[in-house]
Amino acid sequence: MSANEDIRRRIEVRISQGEFLANMLHVAARQSDEVQHQFVSKLSSLASVVRGLLDNNDLLCKLTYRPGDFWPGVKGKCFAFIDGGVASIDLPSAAPIGIRVGSYIVRPGDETDRRERFNIELALVDDLFSKTGILYEDDFQDIAKLRDAARIAGETAAAYRLTRASRDRPDVIILHGPLINPVSPYGLEDFPPFSLAACRKFLVQDTWQGRDSDRQFVALYLELLDRLRTTGVPVVGVVERSVGRDPVVLRRILDKLRDDGVLKERDAKDIRDEIILYGLNDASLLDVVMGEGEYLTPIPVNRQGPDNKWPEPWKSDGVIERYPKALTTYLKPSNLVMPFRIEAFENIAEYEAVLELILHTSRLLPSYGFPVGLDIVDRFAKVPSWMSRSIKRQHQIVLLKKALEKRDPRAVAFAKRVLAAKGRDWLFRPSA
């Protein structure tokens, strides 16, 4: 069967499925009748072009699923899977955070009690960004962003912590989510720094002293990534769902082909425009382009976006510029499932062996098609609602106690607000 026939067959299979249907609806809502009518045929020819480019430029590799040989071959190796869970706490306090980062460490073929180990590598129940640890008085209101920043730092810190372990030091660490995240959203001027205690916990260094700027997410995350990269332990991030419609990796490949003189500037632009016109992101186009066990030749991608969007002062200080690129690929474990993104540091050792591990762990969930170790650690690290409630209660108690101790009317009023938790309560009626 030719590559084009393969593509057509895959499109036919996908035509009634969620992602595809969503793209068709996206096109229907935004584009002309002609574009709508030609969706399938255009997509087919676009996918054939991309397939041809990948094939002719050695940008596609293939792994074979051979569980009978693979698993005995990794007997006794130590693999770690990491994921973070965030408690959902809604308090009028600025940044109550309940985060825990779990790890699942497993040695295939080991029949002793050491075979598998579940551990909470980091558990932070704190007002992470508060200077005093009591009341957060900053003006930054986007709590979701604060939590995200804490989770991202926490997950990277957990991986770093594992590389320093004297026992069960992993041969490979696999994170749930991107290895390198865009940092601009967390680099805004009023984004508060982490507390010193949280930073020390993240860096596994009780004596660490950092200025306010060092404790900012952008600086601290870079420090963590640098430390993690220099350990030499292969670390990858596996991204379950591709969100957004920007085909970042395909754009990067087209740029590379243009730079290498394979594509003319105009041709590269036409292909890119067409991908965007049809609302396709990397995963949805590669889903019909790639076959079972195939992956893109890894390509370094700058995850920090265009520098004109980098916030000051991180731009002028050159901090964001120093962020490592993510060596990125997409792997399609089987014909049943969509490909997913895998990120690594550029200096990663034995990348193909790691990808083979990811393929084989993904095939253990045939219809979900995602590394089963990450599915396991995801369930383990998830913060259940009963735990979130307990964390909330603990926050309320500490806050009220401290407020009463301080005898500060403002703090007491704030604590009352926290306890009442409803804005339009009689307690908050405007005074005359």
Partner 1 sequence: MDEGATPKAEKASNAGLRKGWTQIGTVVGNTSTDKFTFILRSLQAKLGDIVATRVEVPVGSHGAKDVATVWGRIVSIDRFNPFFPAEAAQELADQNIRLLDTVLSGSRDHLEAEVLILGTTFGDDPGAAQLSPLTYPVKPSAEVLYPPADAVRQLLTGDDDRRKPTPSKLLIGSLIARDDVSVFLSAKQVVSRHLAILAMTGGGKTVAARRIIRELIEIGYPLVIFDPHGDYLGFFEKRALFPKTKIRIFYPMIRVRSNNVGIIADLIDKMGRRLSDAQQQFYSWLLSTTPPDDGEAATTFIQRMINKAESAAKKKRPARRLTTISQTFVGRR
Give the binding site for partner 1 (CB under 8 A): 67-68, 71-72, 75, 79, 81, 104, 106, 108-111, 115-116, 118, 360-361, 363-368, 372-373, 375-376, 379-380
State in angstroms the smallest separation of the CB of 379 from partner 1: 6
Amino acid letter at 107?
Answer: R
State in angstroms the smallest separation of the CB of 409 from partner 1: 32
Amino acid letter at 201?
Answer: K
Q: Which is nearer to partner 1, 343 or 378 (CB)?
A: 378
Instruction: Please name which of 329, 357, 331 lies closest in space to residue 344, comparing C-alpha atoms.
Output: 329
Alpha-carbon gap, residue 151 to 132, rounded angstroms: 21
φ/ψ of residue 300, rounded to 5: -70, 130
* 163 CA to centre of own chain: 20
Is the distance from CB of 224 to CB of 156 less than 8 angstroms?
yes
Alpha-carbon gap, residue 62 to 346, rounded angstroms: 20
Alpha-carbon gap, residue 71 to 291, rounded angstroms: 23
Q: Which is nearer to partner 1, 4 or 334 (CB)?
A: 334
Which three-class secondary structure state does DSSP give residue 332? coil
State in angstroms the smallest separation of the CB of 172 from partner 1: 10
Q: Which is nearer to partner 1, 113 or 265 (CB)?
A: 113
State in angstroms the smallest separation of the CB of 71 from partner 1: 4
Helix (H) or strand (E) holding 411: helix 409-420
Helix (H) or strand (E) holding 96: strand 96-106
Q: Which is nearer to partner 1, 210 or 371 (CB)?
A: 371
Q: Which is nearer to partner 1, 351 or 380 (CB)?
A: 380
State in angstroms the smallest separation of the CB of 334 from partner 1: 11
State in angstroms the smallest separation of the CB of 243 from partner 1: 24
Q: Which is nearer to partner 1, 108 or 279 (CB)?
A: 108
